[in-house]
Amino acid sequence: MMIAADCNMIKGQCALAYAMDQEEVVYPSREHWGQAQYLATINYFTFIGEGMAQVMHLAQTFVECKSVVSSSDGPGEAFEFTGWRIKSACDLSIGNGKLEFSLQSCRVNQKYGAALRQTDKGEMFLRESKSDLISECLPTWEMVHTYFWTLNSLNRSIIKAGELDADEFWPYAEAIGDSRSPAKV
């Protein structure tokens, strides 16, 4: 789940959440690089040109996509992507509003290629969930396109982009990239 974002007048996307089904990568990625990852069950199936994907968190499906493959593309051109992340660590004292170190925005420069890409036509559904408030907090205006792809990561660098206001961030510290229930947004 990504939204358009810019920092210091550089456009990119900020991930609200990366649903991952591999516990061994979730916690180190979140702590080390500030990735908004959390454990989820991800189901994806294709059969004779039709596709279905689901993301379940705490036993509730909160994202579902049903589609028909309209084209299968080859590897295609490599493309570059700017992502924004928030790196934070709450203080050990568990005090409200206290952070272990200064809150940072991080710029992630990535270059990708696609081993396989399928462009789909279909519908995406954001379902109600007590622990994932995506459908409540992010209205869906229009689905432009969906695609499923197998990516090749060609290059990645992560740099600090600057400090953020910890007081403004604190109310959302438990909801961004975390699995606490119910989420607080």
Query: What is the mean pLDDT for each group of 10 consecutive residues in the chain (185 residues)?
Result: 83 80 75 72 83 83 83 77 82 67 85 82 79 66 67 88 81 56 46
Domain coverage including residue 138: 2-172
Domain annotation covers residue 20 = yes
Kindly give, in sequence order, each residue whose CB lies less than 8 Å from that of residue 46, ignoring residues fewer than 6 positions away.
52, 69, 118, 148
Residue 182: the pLDDT is 46
Phi, psi of 137 (to 5 degrees): -95, -20
Residue 140: the pLDDT is 63
State in Å, rounded, how far the first CA of the chain is from the last one: 15
- From the list 54, 67, 76, 59, the residue with the least C-alpha distance to 145 is 67
Domain annotation covers residue 147 = yes
* Length in residues, the chain: 185
Residues 107 and 10 sit within 8 Å (Cβ to Cβ): yes
Domain annotation covers residue 180 = no
Domain annotation covers residue 183 = no
Domain annotation covers residue 130 = yes
What is the Cα–Cα distance from 37 to 20, expressed in whole angstroms?
7
Domain annotation covers residue 181 = no
Domain annotation covers residue 179 = no
Domain annotation covers residue 120 = yes
Residues 179 and 20 sit within 8 Å (Cβ to Cβ): no
Domain count of the chain? 1
Query: In CATH, what number is assigned to the domain containing residue 29?
Result: 2.40.400.10
